[in-house]
Amino acid sequence: MTTANSIEKPTETRTEQVVLILADISGYTRFMLASQEALVHGQQVITELLESIIREVEIPLEVKEIEGDAVFLYAVKPDDDAAWEEVRRMIGRKLISFFEAFARTILWASESTLCPCAVCKNFDQLKLKIVVHSGEALFHRIGEFSDISGVDVILIHRLLKNSVKSDEYILMTEAAYRDISFPAEFEISKGEEHDPDFGAIPTYTYFAKGGGPPTRDALERYYAAPLRAFGNDLRFFAKGYFGQLPILLGWTKPGKFGELDDLPVRWSVRVALAMGLVLLSPVLFPAGAVVQAFRVLSRRRRVAAAV
């Protein structure tokens, strides 16, 4: 007898010409390994940075999935030439805006943190690297689940491990370089990667600026509007404080953000830590708000005096 649950749902497949993008954050794992607190905060920081990139995404760019500390995106090439030209320009703008959003979030996070843990003290050591490839992908859907696969999807993931001597760049295959139209002229370095399966892969690299210590100009702009700076600092403080709860209680899995499988403490200890955060919040949160307000005013005066 055949039941409704036993009926296989049809598989839908199609092949599309696509531009594939992997935006990867590096430099945080060694800090996350330092302590339990660094592990928890490291996940929060990576989430915030990934969200800053995702907020820049707009159609026809789409987020396929979060892969640890990377975002996998794609754009399907339209058949219309005029529409494709607009997509080419949009992708170029967005690739640059990813670095701008990343740098902006590093500034906000580094200026708002009150935590002395290894991750929070080293925000500016986090970097962004982007790999881009154009090719063909197989889109397949089984019921409510969808995926994309193919040789070109494998290739872009292989290119995350490359020979580029930098932590901040856009690495493009030759096909991607032809497909992208950047908003301005950039210095591009031509190179070549080698893969045991794909052989020699011609590449074009743009060395960008995403992380690093905030510049003087960026700090001036940040503190030019003290109320906005205070609101941003308070938001980061609240997310940093209360964002620890779902991680400690297991609602957010640490393995989702990297190679680490679990927090290095027992369940009973995690529950005790979570309860302590909740019980202390009526005291610590108002105190944190006062400290943030004082920091904004004092840092604004210091930045103004240094100009």
User: Residue 226 falls within a domain, yes or no?
Assistant: yes
Q: 26-35, 67-76, 221-230: which has the minimum mean pLDDT?
A: 26-35
Q: Are residues 133 and 19 in the same domain?
A: yes
Are the CB atoms for 13 and 146 separated by under 8 Å?
A: no
Residue 118, pLDDT > 80, answer no
Instruction: Write the CATH number for 58.
Output: 3.30.70.1230
Q: Which residue has the tokens 């995403």?
A: 210
Domain boundary among the residues 146, 176, 207 is at 207
Residue 78, pLDDT > 70, answer yes
Q: Are residues 117 and 159 in the same domain?
A: yes
Interval 206-221: pLDDT, tens: 998 755 666 777 777 7
Q: Are residues 103 and 195 in the same domain?
A: yes
Task: Quote the pLDDT of residue 56.
Answer: 87
Domain boundary among the residues 207, 224, 257 is at 207
Distance CA 43, CA 31 (A): 11
Give the structural domain span for 202: 11-207
Provide the β-strand partners of residue 287: none
Q: Are residues 133 and 269 in the same domain?
A: no
Q: 13-27, 190-204, 278-292: which has the minimum mean pLDDT?
A: 278-292
Task: Quote the pLDDT of residue 155.
Answer: 96
Residue 1, pLDDT > 50, answer no
Cβ contacts of 196 within 8 Å, gap of 6 or more = none
Are the CB atoms for 278 and 242 separated by under 8 Å?
A: no
Are the CB atoms for 64 and 167 separated by under 8 Å?
A: no
Q: Are residues 126 and 231 in the same domain?
A: no
At 259, is the pLDDT very low, low, confident or very high (cuts 50, 70, 90)?
very low
Distance CA 91, CA 170 (A): 12
Q: Are residues 29 and 163 in the same domain?
A: yes
User: Residue 1 falls within a domain, yes or no?
Assistant: no
Q: Are residues 195 and 243 in the same domain?
A: no
Q: Are residues 21 and 163 in the same domain?
A: yes
Residue 101, pLDDT > 50, answer yes
Total domains in the chain come to 2
Q: Are residues 85 and 229 in the same domain?
A: no
Average model confidence (pLDDT) across the chain: 79
Distance CA 232, CA 222 (A): 10
Helix axes 81-112, 36-54, angle to 10 degrees: 150
User: Residue 61 falls within a domain, yes or no?
Assistant: yes
Phi and psi (nearest 5°) for 171? -100, 120
The token pair at 59 is 């159609």
User: Residue 85 falls within a domain, yes or no?
Assistant: yes
CA 120 to chain centre: 16
Residue 86, pLDDT > 70, answer yes
User: Residue 6 falls within a domain, yes or no?
Assistant: no
Query: What's the mean pLDDT in 173-188?
Result: 90
User: Residue 74 falls within a domain, yes or no?
Assistant: yes
Task: Quote the pLDDT of residue 179.
Answer: 93
User: Residue 139 falls within a domain, yes or no?
Assistant: yes
Q: Are residues 29 and 76 in the same domain?
A: yes
Domain boundary among the residues 207, 227, 252 is at 207
User: Residue 5 falls within a domain, yes or no?
Assistant: no
Q: Are residues 149 and 242 in the same domain?
A: no
Of residues 255, 210, 192, the one with CA closest to residue 32 = 255
Cβ contacts of 287 within 8 Å, gap of 6 or more = none
Q: Are residues 193 and 228 in the same domain?
A: no
